[in-house]
């Protein structure tokens, strides 16, 4: 059965799933127990508990739709993909979570024909949720920390802004700095740097409080798909640095995504080349 991406019940159900995962994460925040995965990156019981809840909810919300989730992939579980699938990062910013910084997020994205069309990003620490449906728009709402989502919560529309002639605000990764990204920002005369260790950077662009997010060290698809959808829904754009079109679902690359520059104002991309 085709999925109605513009369905308000679908968006609300995905929002509720993210809120439920956020609620679970907060239960581990006081004393996260950390172990290392095979690739050396950290994982906590909060990551795994949030993932279990999201997978349970998605099986009900989108029955039969394959789900690619960070922790499941790390365990070697990669389902056969179809035209539609879901990308999940149950706790994006695990390093921030461990360090007690409040910017970690829950990310859920629905991908259709290689493109993220619906995105949900929630910050458990303050209950802020950003949502977007490409072609319909993006919004921002608050689900109080530790509470379940109520669809009577008022959602405020958000829009990316036009890039200023000078004084761009550049969103940068705290956990994964790299020389190429820093060199690119150095060429943006007068740019202000704003750092964050999670997908909130996309949300800054989508709501018009930042202008550009360069990521010239390749991320994983689950790190960026929800933010990509929200940004596109808010009027922004993601540009691959190699000039190719963005496509998600690269199982052959273990879901490694290409380097990119995200812009709130797509017209600014032509003015600033890598």
pLDDT, tens digit, 9 for 90 and up, residues 238-252: 999 988 889 999 988
How far is it, in rounded angstroms, from Cα 209 to Cα 200? 11
Reported pTM: 0.96
pLDDT, tens digit, 9 for 90 and up, residues 155-188: 999 999 999 988 999 999 887 778 888 889 998 8
The predicted pLDDT at position 106 comes to 98
How far is it, in rounded angstroms, from Cα 274 to Cα 246? 17
Q: What are phi and psi of 156, to 5 degrees?
A: -100, 125
pLDDT, tens digit, 9 for 90 and up, residues 192-230: 999 998 999 999 999 999 999 999 988 999 999 999 999
272 has pLDDT over 90: no
Band of residue 56 on the pLDDT scale cut at 50, 70, 90: very high
15 has pLDDT over 90: yes
Report, as an integer, the average pLDDT of 132-146.
Answer: 96
The predicted pLDDT at position 42 comes to 85
Write out the two tokens for 57. Answer: 């909810």
User: Among residues of the chain, what percentage have pLDDT more than 70?
Assistant: 99
Same fold, 8-158 and 169-270: no
How far is it, in rounded angstroms, from Cα 160 to Cα 204? 8
Band of residue 1 on the pLDDT scale cut at 50, 70, 90: low
**Domain ranges within the chain, ordered by starting residue:** 8-158, 169-270
Fold of 169-270: D-Maltodextrin-Binding Protein; domain 2 (3.40.190)
The predicted pLDDT at position 40 comes to 73
Band of residue 65 on the pLDDT scale cut at 50, 70, 90: very high
The predicted pLDDT at position 220 comes to 94
8-158 under CATH 2.60.40.10, yes or no: no
Band of residue 33 on the pLDDT scale cut at 50, 70, 90: confident
Report, as an integer, the average pLDDT of 16-43.
Answer: 89
79 has pLDDT over 90: no
The predicted pLDDT at position 233 comes to 98
Report, as an integer, the average pLDDT of 10-39.
Answer: 91
State the average pLDDT for the chain.
Answer: 92
């Amino acid at each position: 059965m085709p999925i109605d991406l513009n369905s308000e019940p679908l968006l609300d159900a995905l929002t509720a799933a993210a809120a439920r995962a956020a609620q679970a994460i907060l239960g581990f925040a006081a004393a996260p127990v950390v172990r290392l995965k095979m690739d050396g990156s950290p994982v906590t019981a909060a990551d795994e508990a949030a993932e279990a809840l999201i997978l349970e909810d998605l099986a009900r919300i989108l029955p039969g739709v394959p789900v690619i989730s960070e922790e499941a992939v790390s365990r070697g579980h990669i389902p056969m993909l179809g035209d539609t699938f879901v990308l999940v990062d149950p706790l994006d910013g695990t390093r921030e979570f461990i360090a007690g910084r409040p910017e970690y997020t829950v990310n859920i994205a629905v991908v259709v024909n290689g493109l993220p069309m619906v995105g949900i990003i929630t910050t458990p620490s303050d209950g802020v949720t950003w949502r977007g449906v490409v072609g319909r728009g993006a919004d921002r709402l608050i689900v109080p920390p530790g509470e379940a989502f109520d669809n009577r919560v008022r959602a405020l529309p958000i829009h990316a802004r036009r890039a200023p002639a000078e004084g761009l605000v550049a969103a940068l990764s705290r956990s994964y700095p790299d020389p190429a990204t820093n060199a690119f920002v150095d060429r943006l005369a007068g740019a202000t740097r704003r750092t964050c260790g999670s997908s909130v950077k996309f949300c800054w662009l989508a709501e018009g409080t930042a202008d550009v997010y360069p990521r010239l060290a390749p991320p994983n698809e689950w790190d960026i798909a929800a933010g990509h959808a929200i940004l596109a829904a808010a009027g922004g754009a993601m540009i691959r640095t190699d000039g190719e079109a963005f496509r998600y679902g690269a199982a052959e690359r273990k879901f490694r995504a290409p380097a990119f520059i995200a812009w709130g104002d797509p017209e600014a991309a032509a003015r600033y080349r890598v």
